[in-house]
């Protein structure tokens, strides 16, 4: 038995790397016939490709780019100071997107492995104990974090967090080197300030304060590097801050934000927020991770390992707090009823601390696995711990539909499980460039119109918030859209689009046209549609009404899509 354990410990790193590659293997094997996540994946990569290839990468904030939502200012698109954008600049979309997925998962594995070795293992073990016999448990517990379906277009925002926090903790421990400076300075270029870095900065600030209170002295190097990290992160998003100075009115209206908190019973009964998390930061903590952590907390308490017990308990409490933070803020906001404007402002702040939870669950899980073996130190404990992490690896590789705290059929899943389930079109089928080239040629030959001479809207394949077909498919194929998906666009256009759809429904980032799927009826302001140069409707479903407003021109059959082309009369 000891021989096999030694063998596993010797080659565990390579085994872990092989498993990461297995998860990514559909990309290498299937190429463009691979199944990628649609939600904020295939659906949104056209935003990165468009700005990267538009020639307006370094343009002024207010320059209008005409293809999406009847023309959006440059500030509505991703910043030029981001590695993801440059991947789309140098490579065609498939290779850029595939490369970022590969980088994310490899960095996640290496970063978590480094963090566990440098900080978790040394915390759990006695100083004189041989750390080599924990290699397998270290590497395979790091796989939990590496195999999570991280949001690809977020870059290293979450996947690189262990590497980033490792460098900051080296400053906390006065063990920093030039590598830590390099990691911290470069990290903002492959991550997102609004999505994650802002909350990581606050989290690190609190860690620094704890050290200050504990040691009663200022760690100048730590505070200096945190300041540098914050400044670089902010400067890279200069367009966002500049737009505020320029009084850009965003669609994110405070008037539509609720300040009323839900009942505490209803809030805390939704434990899925903790064990599954949100759509852009999945944790998949149930069943194996959560049960391992709870078991370890009990074991450490019974074994009187007070330091480890309280550390696990504190981390778990922080996870709970971060999971509910965006809802708990409303209880504080409710106290400000005497000042409604401040209420609205605070309610509009998205406290996205949950983005740190995948990393924190990774710490809890690895610490728990190591602790269980540490307490018993025998082959049975090693087998038990190994069995848990191997089962969890299989769970992460092969299961789908276990990611979110609500139903989302097109949400983030691992590349391998997506290609086993095959839930939607492949990359090649999704964009189907030949199909949309045929539509372009048909319109040119029949109407003598080039794509820049007319505007279109699209009807999704379903009324889901996460449709398979949306207006972003024609946009990726070079058409000029009146609808679109954008996270930061002018309030005036939101008002115009609401007028177009006759104020039915509330639109936010996804500016989609509502459709009556039961009666196959489209009810929009057709006169306004024509006034803003609208000419055609691309629909993934047949439109029956209104017959006096539209005419079916032709049906186009592609690799996956069946597109009904309608002309507005």
Alpha helices in 31-120 (DSSP H): 45-53, 83-90, 93-115
Look up tokens 């509330």; give the residue: 506
Tell me the C-alpha distance between 253 and 245, whole Å. Answer: 17
Q: Cα 100 from chain centroid?
A: 13
Residue 125 contacts by C-beta under 8 Å, 6 or more apart in sequence? 131, 134, 370, 374
186, 137 in Cβ contact below 8 A? no
Beta bridge partners, 550, equal: 568
Centre a 10 Å sphere on the Cβ of residue 364 and count the other Cβ atoms it contains.
27
**The two three-digit tokens of residue 330, written as one number:** 């409303």
**The two three-digit tokens of residue 240, written as one number:** 């966002």
Look up tokens 């992460």; give the residue: 396
Digitized pLDDT (tens) for each residue of the chain, 569 residues in all:
678 888 989 999 999 999 999 999 999 999 999 999 888 889 999 999 999 999 999 999 999 999 999 999 999 999 999 999 999 999 999 999 999 999 999 999 999 999 999 999 989 987 767 788 899 999 999 999 999 999 999 999 999 999 999 999 999 999 999 999 999 999 999 999 999 999 999 999 999 999 999 999 999 999 999 999 999 999 999 999 999 888 888 887 655 555 566 666 666 667 888 888 887 888 999 899 999 999 999 999 999 999 999 999 999 999 999 998 877 766 666 665 555 655 554 545 678 899 999 999 999 999 999 999 999 888 899 999 999 999 999 999 988 765 544 455 556 678 888 888 887 899 999 999 999 999 999 999 999 999 999 999 999 988 777 788 999 999 999 999 999 999 999 999 999 999 999 988 778 889 999 999 999 999 999 999 999 999 999 999 999 999 999 999 999 999 999 999 999 99
Closest listed residue to residue 490, CA positions, set 95, 83, 65, 185:
65
Beta bridge partners, 65, equal: 72
Output the pLDDT for position 406.
46
Look up tokens 């209170």; give the residue: 213
User: What one-character-per-residue DSSP string does 321-380 give?
Assistant: HHHHHHHHHHHHHGGGTT-HHHHHHHHHS---GGGGHHHHHHHHHHHHHHHHHHHH-SHH
Look up tokens 């999406």; give the residue: 68
Task: Enter the pTM of the model.
Answer: 0.93
């Amino acid at each position: 038995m000891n021989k096999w354990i030694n063998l596993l410990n010797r080659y565990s790193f390579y085994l872990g790397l092989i498993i990461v590659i297995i998860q990514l293997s559909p990309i290498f094997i299937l190429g463009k016939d691979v199944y990628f996540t649609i939600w904020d994946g295939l659906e949104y990569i056209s935003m990165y490709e468009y700005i990267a290839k538009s020639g307006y990468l370094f343009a002024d904030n207010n320059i209008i780019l005409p293809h999406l939502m009847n023309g959006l200012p440059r500030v509505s698109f991703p910043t030029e100071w981001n590695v993801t954008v440059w991947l789309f600049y140098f490579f065609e979309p498939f290779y850029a997107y595939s490369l970022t997925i590969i980088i994310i998962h490899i960095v996640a594995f290496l970063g978590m492995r480094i963090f566990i070795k440098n900080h978790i293992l040394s915390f759990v073990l006695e100083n004189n104990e041989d750390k080599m016999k924990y290699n397998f448990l270290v590497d395979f517990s790091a796989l939990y974090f590496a195999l999570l379906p991280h949001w690809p277009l977020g870059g290293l925002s979450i996947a690189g967090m262990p590497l980033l926090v490792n460098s900051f903790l080296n400053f906390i421990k006065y063990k920093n080197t030039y590598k830590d400076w390099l990691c911290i300075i470069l990290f903002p270029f492959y991550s997102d300030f609004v999505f994650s870095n802002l909350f990581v900065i606050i989290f690190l600030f609190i860690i620094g304060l704890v050290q200050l209170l504990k040691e009663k002295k200022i760690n100048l190097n730590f505070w200096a590097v945190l300041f540098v990290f914050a400044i670089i992160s902010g400067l890279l998003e200069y367009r966002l801050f500049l737009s505020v100075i320029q009084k850009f009115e965003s669609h994110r209206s405070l008037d539509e934000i609720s300040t009323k908190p839900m009942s505490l019973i209803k809030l805390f009964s939704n434990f899925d927020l903790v064990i599954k998390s949100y759509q852009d930061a999945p944790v998949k903590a149930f069943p194996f991770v959560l049960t391992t952590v709870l078991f370890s907390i009990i074991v450490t308490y019974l074994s009187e390992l007070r330091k480890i017990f309280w550390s696990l308990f504190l981390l778990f409490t922080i996870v709970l707090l971060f999971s509910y933070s965006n809802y708990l803020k409303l209880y504080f906001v409710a106290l400000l009823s005497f000042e409604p404007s401040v209420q609205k402002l605070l309610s509009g702040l998205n406290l996205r601390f949950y983005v740190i939870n995948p990393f924190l669950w990774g710490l809890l899980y690895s610490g728990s696995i190591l602790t269980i073996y540490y307490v018993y130190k025998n082959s049975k404990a090693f087998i038990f711990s190994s069995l848990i992490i191997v089962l969890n690896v299989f769970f992460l590789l092969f299961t789908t539909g276990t990611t979110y705290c609500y139903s989302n059929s097109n949400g983030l899943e691992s590349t391998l499980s997506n290609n086993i389930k095959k839930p939607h079109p492949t990359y090649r089928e999704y964009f189907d460039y030949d199909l949309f080239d045929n539509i372009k040629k048909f319109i040119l030959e029949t109407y003598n119109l080039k794509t820049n001479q007319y505007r279109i809207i699209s009807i999704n394949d379903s009324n889901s918030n996460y449709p398979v077909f949306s207006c972003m498919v024609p946009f990726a194929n070079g058409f000029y859209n009146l609808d679109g998906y954008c996270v930061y666009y002018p309030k005036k256009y939101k008002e115009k689009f609401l007028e177009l759809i006759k104020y039915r429904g509330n639109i936010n980032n996804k500016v989609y046209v509502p459709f009556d799927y039961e009666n196959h009826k489209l009810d929009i302001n057709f006169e306004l549609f024509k006034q803003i140069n609208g000419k055609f409707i691309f629909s993934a479903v047949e439109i029956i009404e209104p017959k006096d407003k539209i005419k079916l021109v032709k049906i186009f059959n592609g690799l996956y899509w069946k597109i009904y082309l309608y002309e507005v009369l």
